[in-house]
Structure 1
Amino acid sequence: MQYLYELFSSSDNPNSLGAKFRAKRLATFEKLFFETLGNQTQIRILDVGGTDYFWKNSLVPNHPGVTITLLNLHLEESSHPNILAQQGDATDLRNFEKDSFDLVFSNSVIEHLYTLEYQQKMAAEIQRVGKHYFIQTPYKYFPIEAHYALPFAQFLPKSLVYSILTKTRLSRLKRWEPKAAQQYLDEIRLLDKIEMGELFPAAKILEEKAWGLTKSLTAHTLG
């Protein structure tokens, strides 16, 4: 049972499926990153919604000249000298000038903005402050909804999903706290390929595959 619990837990658990997909995604990102920016003497990265933990097994923070700024609504903790933390809003980066960063990075954040309007604002700000970007999000039409690990939950009535989350252990083998379940149901708006292309018209759209199906989408200008 413990093995199954860890397998279907969130990607912060190193033994989870999510963590394995994240590690593979990180390897893809690093390859593109070093090909594109590796020769620069200074590399400024803005990680929108990022954590110190995400970069723990990455080569990027230790690369000479790299500075990573974590931007969140709350102040994240950082134990790495090249990773800084700052409070801010992904939809309003007015404190940063155009092209302030060599790269804007974001992993599974843009789908948490409630509405398309806020997603458009985040995308516009990313493209304004970043010379390059790498923005990942779960794919709307992957059969297993990424946040709940439930089949086709994104197409079910929210009231039904709320009941499943709070009254059963079908989602990640646990019962969700009612407040957390409602928060996720309110804020998550998954994106499809057309919308990602419209949000980031200059980007290449990278499709991450799982079992032959597109699991997540990444809009990027690296490589």
Structure 2
Amino acid sequence: MALRSLRFRLVDSPDSYGGRRRAARAVWLSQTFPDLADMRVLDLGGRVESWATVPVRPAHVHLVNLEPVPTDLPEWAEADHADACDLPASIRSRRYDLVFSNSVLEHVGGHEQRRRMAEAVREMAPRYWIQTPYRYFPIEPHWVAPGMQFLPVAARVAVARKWPLAYTPGKSWERAMRQVLTTELVGRAEMRYLFPDATIRAERLLGMTKSLIAVRTADGDASS
């Protein structure tokens, strides 16, 4: 219980390090796109709660993920149940000012799926902001476990089931296996490959890259 409380204080609560980093990222987003308040944003994998408290909220946010569609949405938001790697025609036929995604790319199911998501991102808007945890940061962020991402699958499953800082320690082998196999952190070279027209930014902790953000502005050139 003490370790679960520690995870909340370190990662999950709004006042935690993780919460402060999410808030700082929202400020960085609004600084990168000064006209964010006037934009129509496609959020792949996001939730309406994430946009409710940001310093600058877009004019309209379209949330797309595999969770049940919320029944009570504010007037500035809409939501669809859909796969970010295989968007339906009803969404692909639309255009947005910005595609946004936060900590989703590493969960879509391998490189080919990531490539398909990246293609959708680049097709749907001239600007995008795609964040994902960095593979070579020493702490695996989902389980807050040192070096977990470098272990064999069986060892990662054992960590997912027993590590006390995991979201739900004690889960079944099948559930842990599914979570492990659908969590694959990404390195800088793959991000450059997936988003060749983007600038690859780094979020740092103690001088080390903690996450990567592929950023494309309407008039930006690819650089890193």
* The two structures share one fold, judged by TM-score above 0.5: yes
Q: How large is the RMSD of aligned CA atoms in angstroms?
A: 2.2
Q: CA deviation at 1:75?
A: 3.1
Corresponding residue SS for 1:206:
strand
Q: TM-score, normalised by structure 2?
A: 0.86
- TM-aligned CA distance change 1:168 to 1:150, over 3 Å: closer
Amino acid at match of 1:19: G
Q: CA deviation at 1:46?
A: 0.3
Q: CA deviation at 1:168?
A: 4.2
- Residue ranges of structure 2 left out of the alignment (5+ in a row): none
Match of 2:138 among 140, 143, 166: 143
Match of 1:57 among 38, 53, 57: 53
Amino acid at match of 2:106: E
Amino acid at match of 1:71: V
Structure 2 partner of 1:27: 27
Corresponding residue SS for 1:60:
coil
- TM-aligned CA distance change 1:18 to 1:167, over 3 Å: same
Q: CA deviation at 1:176?
A: 4.1
* Counterpart mapping for 1:52-91 below 5 A: 52-61=48-57, 66-77=59-70, 78-91=72-85
- TM-aligned CA distance change 1:196 to 1:23, over 3 Å: same
Amino acid at match of 1:138: P
In 1, the alpha carbon distance for the partners of 2:26 and 2:67 equals 24
In 2, the alpha carbon distance for the partners of 1:134 and 1:173 equals 26
Match of 1:175 among 169, 183, 193: 169
Q: CA deviation at 1:174?
A: 5.6
Count of matched residue pairs: 213
Match status 1:46 vs 2:16: no
Q: CA deviation at 1:182?
A: 1.9
